[in-house]
Structure formats: structure tokens, C-alpha cells
Amino acid sequence: MTDAAYAPPDTPLAILHADHAIVVLDKPAGLLTVPGRTEDLADCLIARLHAAYPDALLVHRLDRDTSGVIVFALTRHAQRELSAGFEHRRTRKAYRARLWGHLEPKEGQVDLPLIVDWPNRPRQRVDHAEGRPAQTNWKVLGHDPDGTTRVRLFPLTGRSHQLRVHMRELGHPILGDPLYAEGPARDFPRLMLHAESLRFNHPETGRGMTFTAPVPFP
């Protein structure tokens, strides 16, 4: 998918939770989290959210083509606390994905450092010398008759495109990935990657909270 093809879905906000400090949404695939650099990329999740919550503040992002759970802060204090939780790995994230090919073994970890591929931005690449540490755990949920694999992915770090690059490096790119899949693995209606659950401590009460969003693809 290119910027020229940007056609975000015209769907209402899917609010999973809202209180005085946070609002949690189920982001649809195909919608930017924040605006792009040009006017045609102005429509995005935070702009839509501002119509209902003018004080909403960014905490983290999901890729345009990724769907699922995302949290925004409603106060500066909440933003600082939530951001610190992500930075210090106190949050717990789980994604669902469909991969090209038959992934084995049943579970494992990818530990490959990543860096931006400057000549091919926004692509990322593995760089053992200068890349930032990136780790992803995976667990196979099942193998389908069409030769694909259903997995749950657990990012331990939060690098850009981390799950997409790590699965490609395993030899099993995420189905429908416009940047890292090739040939028939790319020929799907959307990126088959969904932020299924997010656990964090509430920035005001400290209470652990877990939010989930149903997987929108088989």
C-alpha cells in the first residue's frame, strides 16, 4: 500500500473503555494512528478521537495496516505514566497473526536488532552492528490446510515494524504485508496482524487492566 492509495475506513470509533484519565480503542486496519506529512494523510485515529475527546494525547502507535487495541491518555500525568510503562516494559502486548508457510517449532523467540532502512523508508532491517535490540516471542495456534500458520506474537520490545520484520526473517512473513511479503504471501485483502490484547497499570490507580479486541480475520 502506498500513500497515494490511502483510503481509510469510514467507521465510527470503537471505544473499549473510557474514564477521566484514559480512553482505549479498537483501531481498524487501514487508518493511520497519527497524521502523515501531507494533507491527504490528515485523516487518522487521533484526529477522529479529538472530535469526542479534545484532550486526548498519544502514548503509542499501531501501524496503519494493523488493527486492534490502542490506549490514549486524557491528561499529561496519564501520558507520562503510560509512556513510562511502555518504555520500561511494564505493559504486556499480545498480537494475532497469520503467516505464510508452516512455522515450526510450536514456540520460540526472535532476537534480532532493528534499524531504519534509510534508502527504503519506512522499511526496517536487521543490523547487528547498529540496530536497536528487539525481541519477539511466538506461539503457534494452528496450521491451516492452505499452508499458512496462525500464531500469537508477544513483542518484548516496541520497535517500528518489529513483528513484521521478525516474522519475515523467520521465513514466514505476515500475510498481506505490503512491505515485507512477496508473491502470493502478499496477495491478501489486508495485513493479517491484530493487536489482540494490551495489559497496563492504570496511570491514576495503579490497578492492572487488560483490554482485548476480537480478531477481525479468520
Catalytic (active-site) positions? 63
Is residue 167 within 8 Å of residue 174, measured between CB atoms? yes
Q: Strand ranges (DSSP E) for 87-183?
A: 92-100, 107-111, 114-116, 124-126, 135-143, 148-155
Total number of residues shown for the chain: 218
Is-contact 188 94, C-beta < 8 A?
Answer: no
Instruction: Using DSSP bridges, classify how beta strands 107-111 and 135-143 pair: parallel, antiparallel or unpaired.
Output: antiparallel
Q: State the Rg of the chain over Cα.
A: 17
